[in-house]
Chains A and B, each alone.
Chain A
Amino acid sequence: MVSFSSARQPSVSIIVTGWKDARSLGDCLTTLSQNVPETIPHEVIVVLNEPTDALLASLRASVSGIRLLHFRSNLGFGGAINCAAAIARGRAFALLNDDCFVEPRWLEELLATIDERPRCGVVGSRFLHPDGSLQEAGCVIWPDGTTTGVCQTREAPFAQFAHRVDYCSGASLLVRAETWNQLGGLSEDYYPAYYEDVDFCLRAASLGWEVWYQSASRVSHARSTSTSPTLKTFLLERAREVFTTRWAEWLAARAPVRQIEEAIWFGMGCPIRVLIVDDELPDPGRGSGYGRMFDALTMLAASSEIHVAFHGRLPPQVDSGTFTRLGIRVVDDLATHVRQVHTDYDVIVVSRPHNASAVMTMLIERFPGARVIYDAEALYAQRLARQMPLVPVERQAELSRRVEAEEREECAHVAHAHEVVCISREEADTIQTWTGAPVTVVEPWLLETKLTSATFDERRDIGFVAAWACGPESPNADGLCWFLDAVFPRVCAALPETRLYVTGDSPPPAVLEYASAAVVFTGRLPDVATLYDRIRVAIVPLRYGSGVKLKTVEAIQSGVPVVGTSEGARGLHGYGCNLVRVADDAESFASAVIELLSNHATWCEMRTALTSACWTSRAYSHGVGAWPRIIRNAAAPVRREAARYA
């Protein structure tokens, strides 16, 4: 028995349609019951045209919890769904044909798409053949009104990521109830079937709604053979006549489209095409500026007028699905990708000097019309130069050579790029002295402010957050060792019960040697907020580095007072003097930590300074939220030039 628990106030109404014997309906309902979680309040409405008695009997015997609507004559695809929608109570309607078998996360991904994109009114799934191969990933409309499902090998990359499309098949389609009601449902002029979905999506788009294809929502589609090929051809041609008459003007505007890639790009709304190259797909939990890149990608993906392709030069450590479902194309093999004839970009962003050294020249040669942005992330030469006093004398000559080489390289990238982006005003000023070119500062604030709520009394101890991505020679290892050697004993002498919690995967052996009852290595935390909610003080005792320390930013945005060296607070002094207690020698560092651990008033005063600012808002206005504007500005001359020759 397949059973559904129909919600009193469903969030989604799943409308399953079938005709006559609808022989796959049982399997369709079974996969629905298995793969639609109870956590999404939903109702299932089954609407049947001319059902056989056997089908009705079988349905009543084997299924419970659905709402059944059946008609003795054929109301057509549009008519049946419109009737079902009239009694549906959800805020969104998920249309599903009886020959579609949904896979896990089918509905979650469709819902997430309309939730994350306020202008998305319609979103469709990825259709697979029963053998698992691609059947259809959104559809394009040709100037003569014929349509093609995106499914061939050369188009396969477009199936891998979510994007706007001309339309998606009504066989698995989620529609906002608001959009549905505005449009008055499916047009019944295409009776009995075909082209209702095409017409619906174009009408939605004409009212300003976006139509999306969501690669992460999958259905296996058997493709019914209940209609003879001749009847299907007749119905398609008949429906196409209605469609081409109704949409003649729209189709005329499509006249220049010849190639499928062009048609797909038109369907995407002719977005600005951006290629971003960094070390790897960003995992915000791994430090090293990945949180910043993750936020930047999130911001860019949220903009429908920008399409982002991302190439990580190292193998991915995170699931690429996290990004593709947002609409980001993940490019595995850059050399092959750029050779493809129809690949073109308006803007190229290369982050960090070693990535720029590897690919910038090649990309400039391949895409001479594109604007190139060098995202400095941090000045690596400066970081090495600041490390100089801390290394043994015999290593200084070698380090000095590396500083010179690194600076030459960074200068070259700045000179090659059309624009430069960096993370602090201080580094922007340095870069400007090299070439005189203007530099854009993208402030370091994170998009998500996870303000912790525990009071002073509910907290204790100290926290040091690190990801250890840079290995044993990282500034983190040096800084923590200095703290444990020179500062922590002073703190423990004053407050013997104090513990230090250190996060992160695989800290270097030299650091692990300090493990004790007082120094606890937590490993990587699934959510670092759990640590921020229990410590009184976060420390950033770094002695060299560059850019801005995102761990400092993260602690600030969590509402945890921070004690840091000048290096730990670098790039942040312009945003308020109370954000970080700065101390560069061991004694004053220990005093600051002790005071914040023990003095309720001082702690509260600093906490108030941290929580009074609206960091998320600042991140949107001056931080990563500026990326879409930077890309739009950079692309403007390219787009103007393209428009001249269009």
Chain B
Amino acid sequence: MPDPMDVDVSESWRTELELAALRRDVDVKAAYSEYLERLLLRSQEAEAWLRGEITRLSQGLLCAQAQARAERAAAEQWRALSTRRDAELEMIRARVLALETDCAALQARLRLADNAAAEMKTLLEVERGRTGNRIVRRLAHGLRRFPRMLNAIRHLIDKGLGPA
């Protein structure tokens, strides 16, 4: 007994519509099922691809880690070498400074010796003219050697091999 609220439509019409709708519904459900299968397949492919990617990336990570370690060791070596070279450089700088100080002292002494030689020469000329004795000759001999010594010292200083 239909409810008075219900629209009075022919049952055959209704059934025909419902059957047609059921057929369409079946088609849609089949298409949806295929769609879900495609989605599943695609998700499986995606999963496989992702796994491959993860493996590749893991390997890459390991390589990168090893390389990083090697580079870190090389850097440590370089840092140590660099520290030693810095120390050596410091020593060399100190030696050069000392040589420069010595050179300055020798040059001062050389100037004093030059002056003394000039005075002695003058004195010798005076004495040679006055006496010509033995003492004067010995002095003259000493004076002849003195310039050679001075030249030797000058040579050593020029080569950077002056007294330490």
Interface presence of A71 (CB below 8 A): yes
- A87's partner among B9, B22, B24, B35 (CB-CB below 8 A) is B9
Top-4 shortest CB links A-B: A73-B21, A73-B18, A75-B21, A73-B22
Which chain A residues border B32 with CB–CB below 8 Å? 231, 234
27 contacts between A and B (CB under 8 A): A45-B7, A59-B5, A60-B3, A60-B5, A66-B5, A67-B5, A67-B7, A68-B6, A68-B7, A69-B6, A69-B9, A71-B18, A72-B18, A73-B18, A73-B19, A73-B25, A75-B18, A76-B21, A76-B24, A83-B17, A87-B7, A192-B24, A192-B25, A192-B28, A234-B32, A235-B28, A238-B31
In the assembly, what is the distance between CA of A63 and CA of B3, in Å?
12
In the complex where A87-B9, A191-B28, A192-B28 touch, is A71 in contact with B17 (Cβ < 8 A)?
yes
Interface presence of B138 (CB below 8 A): no
In the assembly, what is the distance between CA of A87 and CA of B35, in Å?
37
Enumerate A26-83 residues with CB–CB distance to B below 8 Å. Answer: 45, 59-60, 63-64, 66-76, 79, 83
Contact yes or no, A69 B31, CB < 8 A: no
Q: Which residue of B has the minimal Cβ distance to A86? A: B9
| 4 further contact pairs, Cβ within 8 A, besides A63-B5, A234-B35 | A67-B5, A67-B7, A69-B6, A73-B21
In the complex where A64-B5, A68-B3, A68-B7 touch, is A74 in contact with B25 (Cβ < 8 A)?
yes
Which chain B residues border A83 with CB–CB below 8 Å? 17
In the assembly, what is the distance between CA of A126 and CA of B36, in Å?
35
In the assembly, what is the distance between CA of A522 and CA of B100, in Å?
120
In the assembly, what is the distance between CA of A234 and CA of B29, in Å?
11
Which chain A residues border B7 with CB–CB below 8 Å? 45, 67-69, 87
Interface presence of B14 (CB below 8 A): yes
In the assembly, what is the distance between CA of A393 and CA of B36, in Å?
94
Contact yes or no, A79 B5, CB < 8 A: no
Q: Which residue of A has the minimal Cβ distance to B22? A: A73
In the assembly, what is the distance between CA of A69 and CA of B7, in Å?
6
Number of interface residues of A (CB under 8 A): 26
Which chain B residues border A59 with CB–CB below 8 Å? 5
Q: Measured between C-beta atoms, what is the minimum distance from B4 to chain A in Å? A: 9
Q: Which residue of B has the minimal Cβ distance to A65? A: B5
Contact with B along A72-107 (1 / 0, CB 8 A): 111110010001000100000000000000000000
Q: Which residue of B has the minimal Cβ distance to A75? A: B21
What's the count of A-B pairs with C-beta under 8 Å? 53
- State the majority secondary structure of interface residues on A: mixed
Q: Measured between C-beta atoms, what is the minimum distance from A481 to chain B in Å? A: 70
Q: Measured between C-beta atoms, what is the minimum distance from A22 to chain B in Å? A: 15
Which chain B residues border A63 with CB–CB below 8 Å? 5
Which chain B residues border A69 with CB–CB below 8 Å? 6-7, 9
Q: Measured between C-beta atoms, what is the minimum distance from A66 to chain B in Å? A: 6
Q: Which residue of B has the minimal Cβ distance to A237? A: B35
Contact with A along B106-125 (1 / 0, CB 8 A): 00000000000000000000
Enumerate B130-151 residues with CB–CB distance to A below 8 Å. Answer: none
Contact with B along A550-576 (1 / 0, CB 8 A): 000000000000000000000000000
Q: Which residue of B has the minimal Cβ distance to A188? A: B24
In the assembly, what is the distance between CA of A60 and CA of B2, in Å?
11
Q: Which residue of B has the minimal Cβ distance to A49? A: B21
Q: Measured between C-beta atoms, what is the minimum distance from B97 to chain A in Å? A: 73
Q: Measured between C-beta atoms, what is the minimum distance from A531 to chain B in Å? A: 52
Q: Measured between C-beta atoms, what is the minimum distance from A554 to chain B in Å? A: 52
Which chain A residues border B22 with CB–CB below 8 Å? 73
Q: Which residue of B has the minimal Cβ distance to A59? A: B5
Contact yes or no, A68 B18, CB < 8 A: no
Q: Measured between C-beta atoms, what is the minimum distance from A29 to chain B in Å? A: 12
Which chain B residues border A67 with CB–CB below 8 Å? 5, 7
Contact yes or no, B6 A79, CB < 8 A: no
In the assembly, what is the distance between CA of A191 and CA of B24, in Å?
8
Which chain B residues border A60 with CB–CB below 8 Å? 3, 5
Q: Which residue of B has the minimal Cβ distance to A46? A: B5
Q: Which residue of A has the minimal Cβ distance to B15? A: A72
Enumerate B14-72 residues with CB–CB distance to A below 8 Å. Answer: 14, 17-19, 21-22, 24-25, 28, 31-32, 35-36, 39
Q: Measured between C-beta atoms, what is the minimum distance from B129 to chain A in Å? A: 115
Which chain A residues border B17 with CB–CB below 8 Å? 71, 75, 79, 83
In the assembly, what is the distance between CA of A192 and CA of B25, in Å?
8
In the assembly, what is the distance between CA of A368 and CA of B146, in Å?
105
In the complex where A73-B18, A231-B32, A234-B35 touch, is A68 in contact with B24 (Cβ < 8 A)?
no
Q: Measured between C-beta atoms, what is the minimum distance from A55 to chain B in Å? A: 13
- B21's partner among A45, A66, A71, A87 (CB-CB below 8 A) is A71
In the assembly, what is the distance between CA of A238 and CA of B3, in Å?
38
Q: Which residue of A has the minimal Cβ distance to B27? A: A191
Q: Measured between C-beta atoms, what is the minimum distance from B7 to chain A in Å? A: 5
Q: Measured between C-beta atoms, what is the minimum distance from B133 to chain A in Å? A: 120
Q: Measured between C-beta atoms, what is the minimum distance from A231 to chain B in Å? A: 7
Q: Which residue of A has the minimal Cβ distance to B3? A: A60
In the assembly, what is the distance between CA of A87 and CA of B8, in Å?
10
Which chain A residues border B21 with CB–CB below 8 Å? 71, 73-76, 79
